[in-house]
């Protein structure tokens, strides 16, 4: 078979994978994340279930692929926000990036549930799927370390404890927002509007001692 034929087959396989993942997202949006079934995905695409197994051998494999895709999307969004920022102030960058994170989560509730809440019994992302999520955490750590280097935060802010607190505060707001007001716009969200407040709490908690900058 020619290279062109191989490329065409590879491209078609990837297109089918994307169609399967898109159908899975649509079904989970309508019926709930934990209710996904391979037979439902196959029906959505007009496929026979055995044909679907050629691409994903199990429901958990679909969850894993979606976790990775969601983590890549969020990681890329975080990088884009920082790359386009017109300020070097760490606190302002925090507000911009956390605001973009909140908007993204509200616009993509299925990915949010996969990435940030354990809604699927027995699901554990593979190391490959978790890798982009770890990259995003590493970049967050680097961002907070810049705050430390500029005297805006104590060193503990960029520690594992600091990362845990930061992500708990921001993801906690999103969790409350999606649980209580899933359909409102970001600007009208009763919980996400508290984002500046929780970020200020973080900075106050890790504020350098007086006289030390």
Residues of the chain with CATH 1.10.10.60: 1-57
Give pLDDT, residue 213: 47
CA–CA gap between residue 32 and residue 212 (Å, rounded): 50
User: How far is CA 133 from each of CA 62, 125, 174, 178, 208, rounded to the nearest angstrom?
Assistant: 17, 10, 17, 21, 29
What CATH number should be reported for the domain whose range is 63-205?
1.10.357.10
Superfamily of domain 1-57: Homeodomain-like (1.10.10.60)
169-204: burial string, b at 16+ Cβ within 10 Å, e else: bbbebbbebbeeeeeeebeebebbebbeebbeebbe
Per-residue pLDDT of the chain (213 residues; tens, 9 = 90+): 455 556 888 888 899 999 999 999 999 999 989 889 999 999 999 998 888 999 999 999 999 999 999 999 999 999 999 889 888 888 898 899 999 999 999 999 999 999 988 889 889 999 999 999 999 999 999 999 999 999 999 999 999 999 999 999 999 999 999 999 989 999 999 999 999 999 999 999 999 986 554
- DSSP, collapsed to helix, strand or coil, labels residue 213 as coil
CA–CA gap between residue 50 and residue 45 (Å, rounded): 13
33, 190, 39: which is closest to 112 by C-alpha?
33
CA–CA gap between residue 136 and residue 196 (Å, rounded): 21
Q: Is the CB of residue 154 less than 8 Å from the CB of residue 206?
A: yes
Q: What is the pTM of this model?
A: 0.88
């Amino acid at each position: 078979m020619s290279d062109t034929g191989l490329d065409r087959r590879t491209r078609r396989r990837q297109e089918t994978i994307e169609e399967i993942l898109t159908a899975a997202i649509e079904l989970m949006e309508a019926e709930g994340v934990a209710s996904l079934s391979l037979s439902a995905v196959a029906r959505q695409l007009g496929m026979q279930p055995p044909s679907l197994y050629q691409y994903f051998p199990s429901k958990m494999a679909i969850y894993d692929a979606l976790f990775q895709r969601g983590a890549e999307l969020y990681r890329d969004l975080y990088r884009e926000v920082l790359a386009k920022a017109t300020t070097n102030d760490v606190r302002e960058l925090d507000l911009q990036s956390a605001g973009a994170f909140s908007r993204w989560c509200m616009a993509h509730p299925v990915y949010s549930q996969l990435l940030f809440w354990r809604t699927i019994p027995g699901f554990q992302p593979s190391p490959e799927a978790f890798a982009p999520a770890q990259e995003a955490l590493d970049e967050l750590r680097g961002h907070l370390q810049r705050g430390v280097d500029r005297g805006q935060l104590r060193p503990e802010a960029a520690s594992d404890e600091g990362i845990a607190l930061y992500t708990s505060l921001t993801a906690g707001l999103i969790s409350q927002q999606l649980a209580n007001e899933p359909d409102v716009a970001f600007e009208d969200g009763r919980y996400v509007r508290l984002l500046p407040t929780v970020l200020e709490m973080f900075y106050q908690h890790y504020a350098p001692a007086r006289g030390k900058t």
